[in-house]
Structure 1
Amino acid sequence: MGVFPWVAWFAFRRHTAYPLSGIAEALTNTAFGFIRAYILIALWHERPSLGGYDVTDAVTFAFLTQALVGPVQLWGGLELTERIRSGDVAIDLHRPADLQAWWLADDLARGLATLLLRGGPPLIAGVLVFQIRIPGPGTLAAFALAVMLGVLVGFGIRYAVALGTFWLHDDRGLQAISLILAMFFSGLLLPLVAFPGRLGTLAQALPWAALIQVPADVFLGKHTGAELVRALAFQALWAVVLLAAGRAMTLAARRRLVIDGG
């Protein structure tokens, strides 16, 4: 077995080492799911068909969003950032393994571990208290693919932010900007279908839409047939673009590390 499956396996073990912590985070996500559900119920009571959603779609979206917050890692960066700040990344760059692929394997395992520990409780609570849409097996399979692509896009964004530390020497500003953009344009605060006019069009074309809005729409059955293919292609395109940008930044960062005498 190659090095990257081992990286993923040990990362999965590390992120599942404290299940009680994961359950506590899941309960927090569930509590916020109820808060957001009641807010959206009030909003949809005034606008019953806002953005093509009905109130059941809106409530399902609220709990589904809370289930996806951990896997796509809307807030929080990569541990790579600290290694860049401390200089330990020099060791990583001298390993006979690709830096980007190493952290991608780590992040995919983190996403799976977080989904298993934190994804279920919000949805279960929503089903017990509200009327929640439950998709069929085919839609669930498409949803699983959309979530995986969302994790890839999320990694691409956070990897680029982490590598920015090579030039800025401090990631806090980039992290703050990334957090604000992710919360606003992913659909976390409000479904992007509720955004008006050109703002809505712009929001649904940006990469953050691939994190939550697209998987949620797939789960709700808003994308079928050719529309489903286009939605998944949208996610895949942004994943490729961001991973390619991360590859270019890695090469530039390696040269910069050598130039600076690292």
Structure 2
Amino acid sequence: MPGHGAAVSLYPRLAWYGFRRHATYWAAALAGAFTNTVFGVLRAYVLIALWQARPGLGGYDVAGAITFTFLTQAFIGPMQLFGGGLDLPQRIRTGDVALDLVRPASLQMWCLSEDLGRAAYLFVVRGGPPALVGALLFGIVAPHAPAAFLVSVALGVVVSFGWRYIVALATCWVMDDRGLGVLSMVLTTFFSGLMLPLAIFPGWLGVLSRALPWSAMAQVPADVYLGTADPAPALGFQALWAAVLLALGALMTGAARRKVVIQGG
């Protein structure tokens, strides 16, 4: 393993590499921003009608519901709410992961560093336009605690990475990762708060959905922005799930190092 000083310099460089790598696909990022913006407008009109019929639903007013809509649309790219964003499944299928696993650096931290750079780029380029259009067309509220919101977004990205890394690394033990990818996408889009605020889910479903890790990816950062969640416990919740998922990913990495399944090549 590299020394502490080497790791300190390596991982920031990997994050910068992840940022620059995705910056080369600026046209795709802008196309994604346009799509997210269009669907944000459509979602906003749906939620406006819902909140006008049910004022105060879930603890939000109409302005809060609109803001929630465009925030979660802005999170799609940085949080990879539809899954993917990692090259691991392809590298496992080709057998290239065998080289990754013998590098003198943590595979998990290597991937995380690159993913943080990717998320930083998409947060600005793909997340900014939906928020800007939402502000211009409907008006969105200002952040309740800007610093806490940025920390919450960063933790949400780490939670998202932790989950996606586990799903990607599971390709070592399954012959086809597409089913896992679809299942991951369904769970994430439903339980993250992307479709509807989790606060409006009734009874046990609402309690369960807010306790699962996916809520840390969109619902919690949006609530920190809106001030409907106390920042300290909200950030603690995200940090806990980030630690749990990263720890599980580290255990799976160790298991993968002992049993690398090369599918093809």
TM-score (norm 2): 0.93
Following superposition, the deviation at residue 76 of structure 1 comes to 2.9
Match of 2:254 among 221, 240, 251: 251
Q: Does 1:183 align with 2:186?
A: no
1:52 and 2:55 equivalent? no
**Residues 258 and 53 of structure 1, relative CA distance in 2, 3 Å threshold:** closer
**Per-residue deviation at 1:81?**
1.1
DSSP-derived class of the 2:133 partner: helix
Unaligned runs of 5+ in 1: none
- Find the partner of 1:18 among 25, 37, 41: 25
- Structure number with higher relative contact order (C-alpha < 8 Å, ≥ 6 residues apart): 2
Mapped contact 2:14–2:114 kept (Cα < 8 A): yes
Equivalence for 2:216:
210
Name the CA distance, whole Å, in 1 between partners of 2:251 and 2:122.
29
Partner residue, 2:231: 228
Higher mean Cα deviation, 6-15 or 236-245? 6-15
- Contact 1:85–1:170 (Cα < 8 Å) also in 2: no
**Structure 1 residue 159: deviation in Å?**
0.3
Task: Give the C-alpha shift of residue 17 in structure 1.
Answer: 1.1
Paired with 2:206 and 2:56, the residues of 1 have a C-alpha distance of 16
Query: Deviation of residue 21 (structure 1)?
Result: 2.2
Q: Identity, % of aligned pairs?
A: 58
Match of 2:48 among 16, 23, 41: 41
Q: CA deviation at 1:7?
A: 1.5
In structure 2, what is the Cα distance between the partners aligned to 1:122 and 1:29? 6
Q: CA deviation at 1:259?
A: 11
1:25-78 deviation per Cα after TM superposition (whole angstroms, max 9, x unaligned) = 111111010010011111112111111111111111111111111001111321
Which amino acid counterpart does residue 110 of structure 2 have in structure 1? Answer: W
CA shift, 1:18, in A, is 2.7
- Cα contact 1:70–1:118 (8 A) shared by 2: yes
1:153 and 2:156 matched = no
Give unmatched runs, 5+ long, in structure 2.
1-5
2:241 aligns with one of 234, 238, 241: 238
Deviation at 1:131, TM superposition (A): 2.6
Q: Is the contact between residue 161 and residue 174 of structure 1 (CA under 8 Å) also seen in structure 2?
A: yes
Matches of 1:50 and 1:56 in 2, distance apart? 12
- The residue number in structure 2 matching 1:89 is 97
Q: How many residues end up aligned between the 2 structures?
A: 256
**CA root-mean-square deviation:** 1.7
TM-score normalized by the length of structure 1: 0.94
CA displacement 1:107-156 (0-9 Å, x = unmatched)? 100100111111111111111111311125xx111100000000000000
